Structure formats: C-alpha cells, structure tokens
Structure 1
C-alpha cells in the first residue's frame, strides 16, 4: 500500500514581502510552501500587492495578493516576526503562527507588553535554530516554540571548478568593517593573486557560482538566528572563517569552520591567509564540510519538522477572520531597522 500525504483541514497562508533583490527570509517561506504542498497541504505565499511579484520568486510558488485576505476557521496564518506590534492583531480570532527567522528582531517594532504580542488567540512560534528556540522560550514562556530548521540546497550549492583562488564574503550586515577588511586582505602579501569577491545584491545563481568556486568564505554575520550563507558556503566546499552572529554558533561546529572573536578583522585576515597557504592539505576538510552540513540540514528534516509544527498549530483555536497584511505596520520599524556597523 502506498501512503499518501495527510491533507490539512484548511489553507496555510504565509504573509511575506517581495523585495527587489533576493531575500533569504522570503525564500525560506517559499521553500516551506513547496514542502507543504508536496505533503498534500494547500499552502500559499501572500503578498500585499500584485505589483510586488518579483522575478526571483519562482513561477511555481502559488500566491495570494491584497492588503487584506479572508482567513477561514480551518486555515493557518503564518506571519513574519517583523513587524509584530504589541496589541495590533493582524487577524483577530484567526489561528496564527509567528515564523520567527531572527530572534533579535522579535521586538523590533517597540517594547513588548506582558502578554506579547497581545493577540487573540495567542500565536505559536516557529524558529529556525536551537538558539532561537532557547532564547524565545525564555523570553516568551507562555507561547509554544517549535524548531523548523532551514534546509540547505546541496544541488545548487556545490563545489565548482575555479580558474583561480578566490575568497568571498557578504558585506551587507557589516559594511564599514567589510570595507576595512577588504583593504586588509588586499594589502596582505600572503594573499597575492587571490581574487577577493564581495557579494552585493547578487542573484541567487551568482551567489551559488561564487561560493562554489571560493576556497574560503568569510562570515560577517551580525545578530543572526542561523546564518544561511555560512551553511550554503559549507555545502559549496568552502572553508569558513569569521563571526557566528550569535545564533549561527551551531554551524561553526563544522570541521572546517573557524570562529573569530567579534570585530577582530586582523584575526580574520591572518586565519584566511593561513588557510590559503595550506589549502592543498585542507582539501579533505573542504569535502568534510559539505558532508557535515548536508547530513544535518536536508530538505527531508525540514519537511518532517514542518509537518509536526503544522499539526501542533492546528490543535490551537481558530475562527473566521479578515487578515491585514503586516506591511501595514512596516513604518513602525523606522528607517534604520537593518543598519549595521
């Protein structure tokens, strides 16, 4: 007998944002939508405006559009952690989950009240790492927290042939330190002839190609819940040096990852230089990095955890409601929400 996925009683609607450039958080939501639909659920990505559709979201991701949408008593509404405004319930009565992809952003829209977020019924919380689970379970002990780990796409992120030695990094979360680090690396004699690549608003395919042809990836994470670029660099066969950003500490348990104390660019320079000088001997470690991360973060693990989290959410109360897209509260975050040093 062939077992078939168990159908959910209603829809699962993810409220997301269509950014001009690739957004890791929204991309993870689209992965959830696909995984849920593969398991027999009716899952959707909800954007506030049809004009928001962007070319980096695949055409096979089903979408809803509108500033508001009806949520049935059997439906499940999944909301991002930002902007969550205390006391401003986006769907009073509806069954809700906050998909918290960064615990440092939990209270970004203002100081929380005692019963945060003050919604009815109270939401469950999904997180992407054990660190986020532990932090939010301590901060919000009245809300159930489930871990739905991020998957790592080992087909897209894989080692590739390289025409020269390459070191790469994302400067987005530490732009000023990134500029300083680039000069330090460029002036280092041990890195003569090594191509230094900053990944700035690059399409996902370009990121994969760059990581796959890089020998070393420099992690410049800041206030992270997980740090997906580090995981994707490991899958690409990179050696990793840098900052774990807090929530990314579990990724630095990989055999070829070296954690550096925060804001110590000279230590990053020296560690990168040492690895480049010893690169031939480290080939087995690069291969071990890939095996390590793909063993721990496969799509199957994410799908199974997601299935359990959905089942638990469905056991919570829900009623018919008209949901307001969280874009309505974006102005609570302020202009400097994602500004870093």
Structure 2
C-alpha cells in the first residue's frame, strides 16, 4: 500500500511538471512568429538542444522565432548559444502565430492556449502515451480535440511512420536532426583503447554487459568511460578519443548519442533503438537486436579483438560512418525541412 501511495504521488508530481505554462495573453492576429515551448531543464538534453537549433535556423531564414521557457530569465547554459529566449508570461499569442509544443507536455495539453496554430514537436514517438491512461481517454488521445492543431513534427523516418499510423487524420512531417560538424568530428589518426557510453541509458543491462565482458577478460587494458553530466564539447572530446562506443538506445525518437559518436569516428556497437536503424549501417558499425545481451557481449568482444589485430581497419570504418552521418544530418538539410514545412503555415 505504501509503494502504491509513493508511486501515485510521484506520478502526480510528474504530471504537474508537464503542465503548459501560462502565457501573457491570447487573441488578436499575432505577429506571424513561431514559439517553441521548452522545459526549464539545464541538464544536457538532446531534445532541448534540437529546439534551440530549430529556432536559430528559422531566424536565419527570416522567420521570427523564439524559445519559450516558463521562468523569466531562464536559458540553457550547457551548450553555447545566443538563441532568442522569452518567458511564457511575456508572450501574447495570436491567430497568425505558431506554438510548437514538445510531446513531453502530453499530460498537460488540455491547458494549451486558444488562438495560435499548434504544432506538436514529437521527438520521442514511443513516449507519446506516457501518463495518458487508456481507460480515462478517448480515441486519438492525447492529440484529439486540440484546438488549432496543424501538424506533428518528428525527427526520424521510424517515428514519422509510427505517428502517421497512430494519428491518420493529422499531417506528420520530418525535420531531420543535425550533427554539428564543428563539435562532433574526427580527431587524430590514432584511437586510445577506450570504450565509452552514455551513462543514463539502460543501466541494468549495461551492468550485466560489463560484468560479462570483465569476467571474460575482454576489458583488460581498456579504459571504460561513462559519459554523464558533460557539456556538448566535453562529450565530443571523449567520443573523439574513443575506439568503441556502446549504444544502449531504447525506443528512440532518433538516438543522438550513437550518431554523435559515429560523427566523432568511434566504432559503434549496440542497440539502434528502432529509430536509429536509419544510420546503423551494418559493416560500418555492429547493430545488435534489442535486448539480446549475449549478442551484444559477443559483438563488443569481436570489436575489441579486431581493434587489437587491425586497429587501422576499425578506425577507417569509424571514419566512413562519420562521413555518412555528417552528410545526411547536416544543417542545410534541416534548413530545407524547416523552410518547406513552415512555408505552408506562415
């Protein structure tokens, strides 16, 4: 009973966190601007980084845009930016404006302001129904009945397909992610014996995997590094000095960490997380079927053996993967996606 009470209380707290902040006013025609709502979270978050990038690119296209936070004066500081930011309480929304809302606010969508056109920026389609009880909602939840809903945006082919299937009456568009080549790029010609991974993903499976590898002696002589609490630049520096990156992606919207590791030239082994299948090209990396711990361990061991026998081959494969992801996920492709989408709304 105590556990149920704690779970219920935590759930209620999480729902409160995901409520839409109050805007200054609604009504009127508006200025034809685009406002991207984002949570007040100053910890590294790929999704929030993408929101800031969208706003920067829209402004470069001559489309006025701002990131909207709840707190006055809040700005993400874990990556360098001069992105226009404004507090919700200082924004007046009109019919010509567009309010872009992350899928994270799903439980609070009933509090959306009336007046602007609404776009749901769903960067994690597999989380769409988090905190949306089936028994308490109707068909099309959580997006059915949203006044002014114009479209959904997604960041991978996989998520576009899922959202189109789940919401057949709502237009769904792709806006590709960007791997910034000024941050995530190849390093020197050699790679230290380092294995790295993002520390907050699938911790139980990660522990099991590392136990297995250690018991077989696979990790002997390797530096094993968890990437956690690092800035974007610090993360890239670790990845550039990594020989093998372990991907623990799970039901992703895209899966930025393994893509960024590839851009830095690391040889990636592990789970594509469904959406990552579009860039996990066998031969340039070692994709593993989801939850197949034994296959994961074997693939890591094989990569370590290969590195010891022919390190240059693994480095060359990493460089080829880098060229591929940087070519597909570049700024100009996203700029084209944004121009195409917003030209139909503004």
- Whether TM exceeds 0.5 here: the answer is yes
Q: Please, what TM-score do these two structures have when normalized by structure 1?
A: 0.84
Equivalent position of 1:327 in the other structure: none
> 1:77-156 maps to which residues of 2 (within 5 A)?
77-85=99-107, 88-110=110-132, 111=134, 112-116=137-141, 117=143, 118-156=145-183
The answer as to 2:241 corresponding to 1:213 is: yes
Which of 1 and 2 has higher RCO (CA within 8 Å, sep 6+)? Answer: 1
1:79 deviates by 0.4
CA distance in 1, matches of 2:107, 2:219: 48
Deviation at 1:96, TM superposition (A): 1.0
* Residues 1:268 and 1:9: Cα distance change in structure 2 (over 3 Å): same
- Shift in CA distance, 39/77, structure 1 to aligned 2, threshold 3 Å: same
Conserved? CA contact 1:45–1:63, under 8 Å: yes
RMSD: 2.1
Q: Indicate the SS of the match to 1:73.
A: coil
Q: Take 1:68 and 1:166, find their aligned partners in 2: how far apart are those partners?
A: 48
**Residue 184 and residue 52 in structure 1: after superposition, are their counterparts in 2 closer, same or farther (change >3 A)?**
farther
Distance across 2 between alignment mates of 1:244 and 1:129: 12
| Pair 1:55-2:87 in alignment | no
SS at match of 2:261: helix
Give the superposition deviation at 1:54: 3.7
TM-score of the aligned structures, taking structure 2 as reference length: 0.83
Q: Distance in 2 between matches of 1:137 and 1:89?
A: 24
Query: 1:157: which partner in 2?
Result: 184
Deviates more, 1:30-39 or 1:53-62: 53-62
Per-residue CA deviation, residues 246-304 of structure 1 (Å, 9 max, x unaligned), is: 11111212641211122233322221222222222323211111111111111100110
Q: 2:90 & 2:120 partners in 1: Cα distance? A: 18
Q: Which residue of 2 aligns with 1:75?
A: 97
Measured after TM superposition, the shift of residue 312 of structure 1 is: 2.3
| Mapped contact 1:86–1:113 kept (Cα < 8 A) | no
CA contact under 8 A between 1:92 and 1:119: conserved in structure 2? Answer: no
Contact 2:192 2:243 in 1 (8 A): no
Instruction: Tell me the alpha carbon deviations over residues 149-207 of structure 1, each in whole angstroms, 9 at most, x when there is no partner.
Output: 10111221122246731111113120111222233333332432111111122221111
Runs of 4+ in structure 1 over 4 Å off: none
Q: Post-superposition shift, 1:67?
A: 4.8
Contact 1:89 1:119 in 2 (8 A): no
Number of positions where the alignment pairs a residue of Structure 1 with one of Structure 2 = 307
* Structure 1 unmatched runs, 5+: 1-7, 315-341
Does the 8 Å CA contact 1:167/1:197 hold for their aligned counterparts? Answer: yes
